[in-house]
Amino acid sequence: MPLTHAYINEQLTAHLSEKLIAWEESYGMASATVQADHNLKTLTFLHDEPSLGFQFMTDITAVHYPDRKGEELAVVYHLHNLVENIRLRIKVFVPVASPNVYTATGLFSGANWMERETFDFYGVNFIGHPDLRRVLNVDEMDYFPLRKEYPLEDQTRIDKDDEMFGR
């Protein structure tokens, strides 16, 4: 029987019950939001359960939503079951003041640098990561540049009007 979104939803609901906060499907991909402290449990379950088999970590990144108070940072995982060829997105929301989630490096060696990159740009603290250092920016940097409070352009410039050009 081919793996379906409905089956994944059913399995996750049964396994996580109220820890599965939201489930949506858009543009052909299912996306599950789970409670932040259950990120590793969810990934492990999806990885180890034979009927699910999400054993390929495509991507890890984060998104900053400054308007969502108390859950400003979203850590986003893209998983892939290569056998059934089905993708799944897992999201966890954490407050920007204490952005702590568990590392996935124990499951996926490839998560190492992806998590370092996420830490580098968003400051997400991956608990248990073997080597959580900056990867693309300089080590001396003391802020997390992709957070929304850091504007792209030099704010002292007066020759550009945001009303007319770009965001």
Residues of this chain that interact with other proteins (CB under 8 A) are: 26-27, 29, 31, 55-59, 61, 63-64, 76, 78, 82, 85, 87, 89, 108-114, 117, 121, 134-138, 145-146, 150, 152-153, 164-167
- Closest contact distance (angstroms) between CB of 5 and other proteins is 15
State which residue, 48 or 153, has the beta carbon closest to other proteins: 153
Contact 16, 46 (CB under 8 A): no
CA distance 39 to 77: 9
State which residue, 19 or 147, has the beta carbon closest to other proteins: 147
- Closest contact distance (angstroms) between CB of 17 and other proteins is 25
For helices 39-48 and 5-16, the axis angle rounded to 10 degrees is 130
- Closest contact distance (angstroms) between CB of 59 and other proteins is 4
State which residue, 29 or 127, has the beta carbon closest to other proteins: 29
State which residue, 102 or 117, has the beta carbon closest to other proteins: 117
- Closest contact distance (angstroms) between CB of 110 and other proteins is 3
Pairing, β 100-102 against β 125-127: parallel
State which residue, 102 or 108, has the beta carbon closest to other proteins: 108
CA distance 92 to 52: 20
DSSP state for residue 103 in the 8-state scheme: -
Contact 55, 81 (CB under 8 A): yes
- The token pair at 164 is 């007319």
